[in-house]
Amino acid sequence: MIARRPLPPHLEGQSFSTAELRAAGLGLARTNARDVQRFSHGLYRGAGPSGPSWQACGLEDPGHGLSPQDVRALLRLRPDAVVSHLSAAHLYRVPLPRGLTASPAGRSPAGPGSLHLSVPHDGSRIRREGVVAHRRAVPDADVTSRLGLRVTSAARTWLDLAALWPRLDRDDLVVAGDHLVRHPWVRGEGRTDPLTTVTEVRAALHRAGRFRGIVAAREALDLVRVGADSPPETRLRLALVDAGLPEPGLQVPADPDDPSSPRADLGLVPWRIALQYEGHHHRDARQQELDAYRDAWFQVHGWLVIKVTGADLRNGFRRVVRLVRERMASHGR
């Protein structure tokens, strides 16, 4: 019995193509061994300790069955391709509606459980199970690297999400935009700058030219704001505006002259209305103590504090709209 040559160290636990196997001095027959697993046409995984998983990188499982190193191997095979659309949104942790699909009538494979790549119009087609190829030119200015993967920039990713309209509606796009332009403040986020800015998105929009969803993109971009810390906060702001009420400010201090003043998620300063969205983490006992301190500070300074819950989100914030209107009427403005 002839012993098989071991995989070279740089292929152990890694994903690689047939060409990379041959470059290492091994023939195609080596892929028949038990320590090599085929995961796509011409692409394999070597046994051994592998690189970090999506979860280890702080991301949810994207559902397409490919690891970060698998995607890197595929991109080495297709240097003209770039991770885009829903897959790029996953890398930026963009909050999207559950069950979103990227093809009409839910035809697969096109949901978030597929790997989405963009290739030039003149590039060869990508026909692989679980891979959705979008024929869209991506300028170099709109390509960056994330987790060692070629990916569309945050600004371009938002435009590609707009191209999925109407499966993503105006509010969905504004939620995504608010997430991308948000200035991080929670410790442990691993960054201090926003993922993009409205100015950068407008520049990417200019470079993109005409595309399906461009009207929706322009409308939604005009509504993107810096300061929303969660999708419900964005949806609350939009609901108030859609109800004909003034647009609230974001991260509004009870006392702007006091640097230690707590802030309201949303606030209507002329009427001294503070809106606080109470998400799941507000159920924590310590957080409830902080919330009580915050609310008391606002009330001492003459603010009405309206606590908003998931139930309000589900019924379109009708209760909140009514309370805001009542407060405004009582102040005669």
Q: Is residue 226 part of a domain?
A: no
Say whether both 4 and 110 belong to one domain.
no
**Is residue 250 one of the residues assigned to a domain?**
yes
145 lies in some domain: yes
Report which DSSP code applies to 315: T
For residue 95, tell me if it sits in a domain.
yes
Q: Is residue 69 part of a domain?
A: yes
Give yes or no: residues 216 and 70 share one domain: yes
Full strand arrangement of the beta sheet holding 304-308? 249-253, 263-268, 273-277, 304-308
Domain stops at, among 221, 240, 264: 221
From 182, 200, 221, the end of a domain falls on: 221
Alpha-carbon span 313 to 181, nearest angstrom: 22
Indicate if 214 and 241 belong to the same structural domain: no
- 120 shares its domain with 153: yes
Q: Is residue 199 part of a domain?
A: yes
Tokens of 191: 């960054």
**pLDDT at position 105:** 37
Token pair listed for 186: 């929670």
Q: Which domain holds residue 299?
A: 231-330
Residue with structure tokens 């991080």? Answer: 184
Residue 247: CATH number of its domain:
3.40.960.10
Mean pLDDT by groups of 10 residues along the chain of 333 residues: 70 88 86 87 85 92 93 95 97 90 40 84 84 93 97 98 94 98 70 91 95 95 96 98 98 92 95 90 70 90 95 97 96 69
The four Cα atoms 58, 154, 182, 170 give a dihedral, to 10 degrees, of: -110
Q: Which pLDDT value is given to residue 108?
A: 37
> What phi and psi, each to the nearest 5 degrees, are found at residue 267?
-150, 145
Question: Which of 159, 194, 221 corresponds to the end of one domain?
Answer: 221
Distance in angstroms (rounded) separating the CA atoms of residues 252 and 236? 15
Nearest Cα neighbor of 11 from 2, 24, 27, 1 is: 24
Are 148 and 194 contacting, i.e. CB atoms less than 8 angstroms apart?
no
Residue 19 lies in a domain: yes
**Residue 183: which residues within 8 A CB-CB, separation 6 or more?**
193, 194, 226, 227
Which run of H or of E encompasses 45? strand 43-46
| 266 Cα distance to chain centroid | 22
Q: If you count them, how many residues does the chain have? A: 333
Please state, in angstroms and rounded to a whole number, the distance separating the CA atoms of residues 40 and 77: 12
On whether both 164 and 208 belong to a single domain, the answer is yes
User: Is the CB of residue 291 less than 8 Å from the CB of residue 213?
Assistant: no
Q: Quick one: how far is CA 14 from the chain centroid? A: 27
Clarify whether residues 202 and 111 are in a common domain.
yes
164 lies in the same domain as 307: no
Q: Which residues pair with 161 in a beta bridge?
A: none
Helices 154-162 and 198-208, packing angle to 10 deg: 60
Q: Which residue has the tokens 């709109």?
A: 142
Domain count, the chain: 3
Question: CB neighbours (10 Å) of residue 306?
Answer: 20
- Do residues 281 and 134 both lie within one domain? no
The Cα–Cα gap between 275 and 309 comes to: 10
pLDDT digits (tens, 9 = 90+) for 179-193: 999 998 654 455 678
**For residue 264, which amino acid is it?**
A
- Between CA 174 and CA 180, with CA 179 as vertex, the angle to 5 degrees is 100
Residue 319 lies in a domain: yes
How crowded is residue 155: how many other Cβ atoms within 10 Å of its Cβ? 26
Q: Does 79 lie in the same domain as 198?
A: yes
Measured CA to CA in angstroms, residue 29 lies from 4, 37, 99 at distances of 10, 12, 41
pLDDT of residue 285: 66
Check residue 176 and give its pLDDT. 98
196 and 105, same structural domain?
yes
